[in-house]
Every structure is written in C-alpha cells, then in structure tokens.
Amino acid sequence: MLLQKEREDVVKYCRKMITAGLTKGTGGNISILSRERGLMAVSPSGIDYFETAADDVVVMDLNGEIIDGKRKPSSEYELHRIFYVRRDDIAAGVHTHSVYS
C-alpha cells in the first residue's frame, strides 16, 4: 500500500484526536506528508474515525490530485496542501473542531 506507515499514523492520530476531546464525530482532519515522494496522506471525509482503516486514507500529490484511495479526501485537504507547498519545515497537519474553542 502506498504510504502505508503514513496512512496508519493518520488513522491512529484521528482516533487520538477524538479520545483527547479535540473534536467529535467526523470533525477535524489530519494529514502527513512524505516530502521525498511529494505525497500526502489525508484523512477521508465523513467516516467515523473508529471505523476508518488505513486503506480509507487518501493519498494526494501536492497539486491536489488523488493518487491512491477509494474515498473522498477531507474537504480541508487544500489547507494542508498549501502549508506543505509554502513551508518546507512542516510534515504533518492537524485541524480540529474543538468543542471549547
């Protein structure tokens, strides 16, 4: 599976985002960049994080094109993409919908 470790980590940290109370339901999104490949693993849209598997995570290039994955990426993928394109010191992004913010 393309970007297997990154996809597994996206699932792991999406679940931690829920258990830590940083978001509820399917809110928020996470991405992890493989800069050497120029690809990012992005959490899928509209799927409960505790039902999400690594192969549900979408792999996209830095032009916003889907490279691998059967799901729709988070609607916020563009936010993650822009940071990766403009900043070479960023390798992951977490966007929460915090209850108390």
Residue-wise pLDDT for 55-101, tens only, equals: 999 999 999 999 999 999 999 999 999 999 999 999 999 999 887 76
Is residue 100 domain-resident? no
Residue 57 belongs to what domain range?
4-95
- Determine whether 8 is an active site residue: no
Contact indicator for 77, 64 with CB cutoff of 8 Å: yes
Is residue 101 domain-resident? no
Query: Which one is catalytic: 6, 51, 65, 76?
Result: 76
Query: What is the domain count for the chain?
Result: 1
Q: Kindly report the average pLDDT of the chain as a whole number.
A: 95
- CA dihedral (1, 24, 78, 91) positive or negative: negative
Q: Tell me the percentage of the chain whose pLDDT exceeds 90.
A: 87
What's the pLDDT tens digit per position in 3-51?
A: 999 999 999 999 999 999 898 888 899 999 999 999 999 999 999 999 9
Is residue 73 domain-resident? yes
- For the entire predicted model, the pTM comes to 0.93
Of 9, 99, 89, nearest in space to 54 by CA: 9
Sheet of 29-34, strands arranged across: 66-68, 58-61, 39-42, 29-34, 92-95
Distance, CA of 98 to CA of 92 (rounded, Å): 18
Is residue 36 domain-resident? yes
Is residue 57 domain-resident? yes
Residue 76 belongs to a domain with what CATH number?
Answer: 3.40.225.10
